[in-house]
Copies of this chain bind each other. A is one copy, B any other.
Amino acid sequence: MVRRHVSLKDLAAEIGVSISTVSRALKHHPDISPELTKRIQELAIKMNYSPNPLAMGLLKQQTKMIGVIVPDMVTHFFASVISGIESVAKENGYYIVISSSNESWSKEVESVENLLKTRVEGIIACLSQETRDFAHFEKLIKNEIPLVFFDRVCERLQAPIVTVDGCEAVKNIIHHFNTNGYKRIAYISGPEYLNISRNRKEGYLEGLRECGLKLYPELLVECKLNAEDAARATRQLLHLEEKPDAIFGINDTVAFAAMKEIKKYGLKIPDDIALVGFTDEFHSTVVEPPLTSVTHPTFEMGQQAARLFFKLIENDGPFNHTVKLPAELIVRESSIKQKSSD
C-alpha cells in the first residue's frame, strides 16, 4: 500500500476507459450506460476513491474553508464558540482554520493576512481587545470577502454581527442587586472602545437610574481583559474609603480574578461584598461560593455566526444583519446575603 490517494486516472486505467467517462459515471450522468456506471461505481468503492479537494478547489475556485480569528482559544468562552462554528460548518461541508490573535492588534492583522493566503473563503472574527484600527477588516469588505463578527464587533463596518444583549443583562444584574439590598454597586469594565464595554456600561447606568440608585463615579473602573489588570482594578475598589457592597465584572476573566482578590483581602462573599460575573455555567458552579452570573450562549453564538456566514456566501452581495442573543441571569449564592433555608 502506498501513500498516494487514488485518482480518477487510476480508476480509468483499471477499467480501460477515459477519465471523463469515470467522472461522469460517478455522478450518474445519463451519457454513460448503466452497466458501465455500475462497474465504475463499484470499483470506486473498492479502491476507496474520494475526489481530491485540491483539484476541486482549483476548478471551482472554492476551498471550503472558513477562517476563524479569536483572541485566544483556551478559555472556555472561545473554545465553545469555535465548537459552535465548527458544528454548522461541518453540516455545510466546510472546515475551519483557527487563528489566535492573542488579544494583540498586530497579530490580528497578521492572522487576516495569513488566512487570506490560505485562501479561506471568508472570516469569522472576534476583535482583540487592542483593536481600534479596522483597516485590515475594511480591506476584506472592499474585496468582497465574507466577514462576520461576533461578541466584540465593529458596528460601523458593513458586516453581519452576532452579539449578546449585554445592556439588558446588566440591567437585570443591577435590579437583582437592588432587590437584595446592595446599593453601592461597582462595575469593572473593559476598554471603552470595545462594544461590549459600552453596552454593558449603558446597562449599568440605565439600571442604576431605573432603580433610583446613585451613581458613584469611583465605582466604575476600567481594566484590560486579563487577570492581572482585573486584580489591580479590584484592589482599587477595595481600597476605597467607602467600599462597594457589590461588584460585577465584565467577563469571566475579570470575575474570577476579582473573586480571588476579594478572598485574599479576607472579605466574605456575599456577606461583605456581592459578586456577579459574565461567565460560563461550569466554572460558576465549581467556585465557592457558587457565582451568580450571566451565562453566554456561547455555542449558539458560534452557530449563529456561522449561519450568517453562509447566508453571506450565498447572496454574495452587500449584506449586514445583526443577531442579538439573550443572556440569562442565573442567581447563585454569591449575590444573596441571607441564605434561604429550604
Contacts and interface: CB of A to CB of B under 8 A. Distances in A.
Interface of A: 1-5, 50, 52-55, 57-58, 61, 63, 73-76, 79-80, 82-83, 86, 95-98, 100, 116-119, 142-145, 256, 259-260, 263, 283, 285-289
A144 B3 contact: yes
Given A97-B95, A98-B98, A286-B287, A1 B144 contact: yes
Contact of A143 (B3, B54, B83): B3
A2 B143 contact: yes
Given A119-B53, A286-B283, A73 B63 contact: no
A183 B342 CA distance: 36
A58 B54 contact: yes
Contacts of A143: 1-3
A1 B98 CA distance: 26
A82 B86 CA distance: 15
A195 to B, nearest CB: 25
Contacts of A289: 288
Contacts of A117: 50, 53
Contacts of A83: 73-74, 100
Nearest to A72: B83
13 contacts: A2-B144, A50-B117, A52-B119, A53-B117, A53-B118, A53-B119, A74-B79, A76-B76, A259-B286, A260-B286, A283-B283, A286-B286, A288-B288
B285 A287 contact: no
Nearest to A116: B50
Contacts of A52: 58, 119
Contacts of A50: 116-117
A80 B74 contact: yes
Nearest to A84: B74
Nearest to A227: B282
A339 B225 CA distance: 33
A74 B73 CA distance: 9
A74 B280 CA distance: 12
A265 to B, nearest CB: 15
A3 B119 CA distance: 11
A256 B286 contact: yes
Contacts of A3: 143-145
A135 to B, nearest CB: 14
A336 to B, nearest CB: 17
